Copies of this chain bind each other. A is one copy, B any other.
Amino acid sequence: MSEDIEKKEGFGAEAGDAADSGAEESLFEAPPMAEQERMCEAILFASAEPVTVKELNSRMPHGCDAAEALVHLRKRYEGRGVRVVKVGDAWAMRTAPDLGFLMQKEMIETRKLSRAAIETLAIIAYHQPITRAEIEEIRGVSVSRGTVDQLLEMEWIRFGRRKMTPGRPVTFVVTQVFLDQFGLENTRDLPGLKELRAAGLLESRPPPGTMPTLGDGDEGEEESSEGQSELFED
């Protein structure tokens, strides 16, 4: 434990809080921008997962401006075989998609998603934050527990804030892993989002009067095939 202690105790402690206190800036000069760019390059290169600007800054010497270095770095890698991409509020290096054909060896056998899972994922991505009931309303069928679990497990979705409606239902939102998976900078870049919004297809429209509430059987599989035909008299 004791060997973890850095020499500049006080300094280290302050670095976090007082990231831009002028007093310290004068004490420790930040490395030149070219050097900062190299540092960002090394960190992003070494990491399989996207790294936030905040983390970059915390790992780089005091006074560095990762955000600016990233701008330079991104430009430097334009058109290269590897690119610097933004994923949510984090950054990563990824091979250029047009070279995917070279990578059969690295190809990851992706888990085949069920149609229900794919649809549910898309609905969450385009409507987030969205409750399970709202997903069911759109799909017209109850969402099986397994579908949501699978998406949660893959870390493509996560729980969002509870909705301020009766019962305070939990919502789902997509994650950074999702953005990374589909090469999206953020959810605003979802394909066709603008058109869908313009067409009014992303607004929640309450059903007029007596529509049957579809898929309100909220647990278990949709195919609860208890012969309930006697309920039906037409």
Contact = CB atoms under 8 A, between A and B. Distances in A.
6 contacts: A1-B118, A7-B153, A12-B106, A13-B110, A38-B80, A39-B102
Chain A: number of interface residues, binned into ranges: 35 or more
Nearest to A149: B2
A104 B45 contact: no
With most chain B CB atoms within 10 A of its CB, the pick from A3, A9, A154 is: A9
B41 A10 contact: no
B93 A12 contact: no
Interface stretch (A54-62, A207-215, A224-232): A54-62
A48 interface: yes
A48 B16 contact: no
- Copies, count: 2
A26 interface: no
A82 B7 contact: no
A13 to B, nearest CB: 6
Nearest to A105: B59
A168 interface: no
Interface in A1-53: 1-3, 5-13, 16, 37-43, 45-48
Contacts of A164: none
A110 B105 CA distance: 30
Given A1-B118, A2-B150, A96-B38, A43 B103 contact: yes
Per DSSP, chain A at the interface is helix
A130 B46 CA distance: 36
Contacts of A110: 3, 13
Interface string A120-160: 00000000000000000000000000100110011100000
A202 interface: no
A69 to B, nearest CB: 10
Given A12-B102, A58-B106, A105-B47, A41 B82 contact: yes
Contact of A104 (B59, B106, B118, B150): B59
A90 interface: no
> Which 9 A-B residue pairs are closest in the complex by CB-CB distance?
A41-B81, A38-B81, A42-B81, A8-B101, A42-B95, A12-B101, A42-B99, A45-B82, A46-B106
